Chain A
Amino acid sequence: MIRFTGIQKQFFLCVVLALFAWSCEGKPTEQVTHSPKVIKWDGLEAVLSRKTEKLQVINFWATWCAPCIKELPYFEEVNETAADKIDVTLVSLDFADEFEKRVLPFVEKRSLRSQVLLLDEIDYNSWIDKVDPSWSGAIPATLIINPSNGKRKFLEKELNEGELNSLIEEILN
């Protein structure tokens, strides 16, 4: 199944509008939303090693994990209010064959706007230490990376809103 990115969608929308109205501004009028994607390890590695000024906030979760779902709004809040300086990536550890059936409907129902990536790597012991050696494999877990100063923090626990924000402050400065 072909999935379009937000930009592609806007391009097609533009083309369609142009056909009807012969006018197209070409400027997105609202924030670009990210389509959820299924990735392999290299896809996550690309996020972990992004060369950017923006802080990387990476949250590991799953649709079956109640405490993960509880803390998602805090990450969404960061994504909404600080998109200019922070990238939020929600890495789902749901099974890849449930992407269509569980993850996409969940993202839609909750209107998640952060980038959702389903990591399709069932052999956890082959990659989990590369995220952080201290990780036992439980979720929720959160990794914050500041590519500018190399600061990095990994936490294997449920965060409350205040904790997330103070962690971000700590890594940002």
Chain B
Amino acid sequence: MNYVSSILISAFLLIGGFTADDAGVKVGDTAIDFNLKNVDGKMISLKSNAGAKGYILVFTCNTCPYSKMYEDRIIDLHNKYAGKGYPVLAIQPNDAGRSPGDSYPNMQKRAKEKGFPFPYVLDETQEITEAYGATNTPHVYILNKEGNDFKVAYIGAIDNNSRNAGAATRRYVEEAIDALSAGNNIGTTDTKAIGCTIKWAN
């Protein structure tokens, strides 16, 4: 796991703290739509992808060691589920003033380096992040289309082992989308997203 060590060493100084908040959307609520700028300059909303049956909405960033540990897993989730109608849509929630490594140009750079196959949009005002009630990165909201709306179907972590994907014994996001695809109820709809606190503007 040397890559993880190097990630942690390179990023450990950038992490800040913030208090959790009970506000935000809950499982079963209608998802809030948005219009946020992607790394390619285009504006993205939940309606941008007409074929989507839902989304794996992930609040994540460039700098958090946990986001980095999950980066490849997020790409894998997109590759596995976009074709089934559940693409990843990544939102960068951190204030660039407090976390310069998460600035829009740095997001563009990271997206290019990793070849993100999904939109990576910036929530510059942090209003969408606050409205969803995201607290940590990475923090996942699975959305499922019902009629003309998207409903929140799962909130929380990607799996139960941030350190080692292969050692995870619960893959919450995969379990949830597999259940949705099969028309079943999701077994675990809420977990705690372990990671870095979101850096709110001062």
A residues with CB within 8 A of B:
63-68, 95, 97-98, 101-102, 122-126, 128-129, 134-140, 156-158
Contacts and interface: CB of A to CB of B under 8 A. Distances in A.
B16 A67 contact: yes
Contacts of A139: 17
A137 B195 contact: yes
A138 B17 CA distance: 7
B161 to A, nearest CB: 5
Nearest to A68: B17
B135 to A, nearest CB: 5
Contacts of B14: 66
A140 B18 CA distance: 9
Given A136-B136, A138-B18, A122 B160 contact: yes
Nearest to A123: B160
Contacts, number: 84
B65 interface: yes
B5 interface: yes
Contacts of B170: 123, 125
B23 interface: no
Given A64-B8, A64-B65, A125-B160, A137 B194 contact: yes
Given A136-B135, A136-B136, A137-B192, A64 B11 contact: yes
B109 interface: no
A156 B192 CA distance: 14
Contact of A66 (B15, B20, B135, B167): B15
Chain B: number of interface residues, binned into ranges: 20 to 34
A105 to B, nearest CB: 12
Nearest to A124: B194
A125 B191 contact: yes
Given A64-B65, A97-B1, A124-B194, 14 more contacts: A64-B8, A97-B163, A122-B160, A122-B167, A123-B170, A124-B157, A125-B160, A125-B170, A126-B160, A136-B136, A137-B192, A140-B17, A157-B17, A157-B19
A155 to B, nearest CB: 8
Contacts of A67: 15-17
| Most B Cβ at <10 Å: residue of A102, A123, A157 | A123
Interface in B154-168: 156-157, 160-164, 167
Interface in B136-167: 136, 156-157, 160-164, 167
B103 interface: no
A135 to B, nearest CB: 8
B172 to A, nearest CB: 9
Given A123-B161, A136-B135, A65 B17 contact: yes
A88 to B, nearest CB: 19
Interface string B64-98: 01000000000000000000000000000000000
B142 to A, nearest CB: 16
Nearest to A96: B163
B197 interface: yes
Given A64-B65, A125-B191, A138-B135, A156 B12 contact: no
Contact of A138 (B5, B136, B156): B136
Contacts of B197: 138
9 contacts: A64-B11, A64-B15, A95-B163, A97-B1, A98-B8, A124-B192, A135-B20, A137-B195, A157-B18
